[in-house]
Structure 1
């Protein structure tokens, strides 16, 4: 059974990016995979392919050397949670592995695709209007997402993550 949820991969990507946002704000320099994993108690082998996806998406770049690691390519205010999630897992909402707008139904269910489109719009609105900076610097601020506080978004994300089967 599929649910609307946040996969472990998506959650790990967000947690790593929040650390990179904090490091960027503090001018702390690059963070290695090991440092990211240690600070958030994440498996480093799982973070490596996530970092590669984030780099491919242009959200981070790698710095070589003994003090190397990863850094954000843009300011934390310019990277949304939606950017991060799409980079590691593709579209935010899918219906049977397809974008909601391509779903077609007949009869009594003919307008169900409108519901899926509204779900996609709502999820995108919250995640695209909440930046890494919003979460790191002011987690209790009301995000510009229809009045839903970031703290409540976090509860919603945790609830759906808990409802998802383990990855």
Structure 2
């Protein structure tokens, strides 16, 4: 029985030694996706494209909102001098304009979010191809994109950004 425990202990120790040797051979990398979306040239180009595409509508919405605010302030000043029917008519008109503004803002935001998702999906796909390329070239066994904590020595974001930004 005593030799059984010795053999079991020896087997366990050899297993741990083999595991630690195996664990040392694993190469792990980490990618900070937020940095990719902020620092990659493709992400910056996508952001500029979105700003150009949506800036006029955004300005129009701001102008519409400012006009509505001015109209509401004017109504507040003039309300005491208006007849009941004029006051009700202007209140109704302001309410309709406010609902229209809210509808336009909601549509704008939905379209902007949909376009952002399209553009940044392309950035992510490009980044994933580059990550795979870097991982294969440098013989990484595992590359993580999300982690609670990562030792900075495993962060390969700079290498990936360098490849992404070097490509045209």
* Shorter-chain TM band: under 0.3
Between Structure 1 and Structure 2, which shows a larger proportion of helix residues?
A: 2
Q: Give TM-score, length-normalised by structure 2.
A: 0.26
Q: What TM-score comes out, normalization by structure 1 length?
A: 0.27
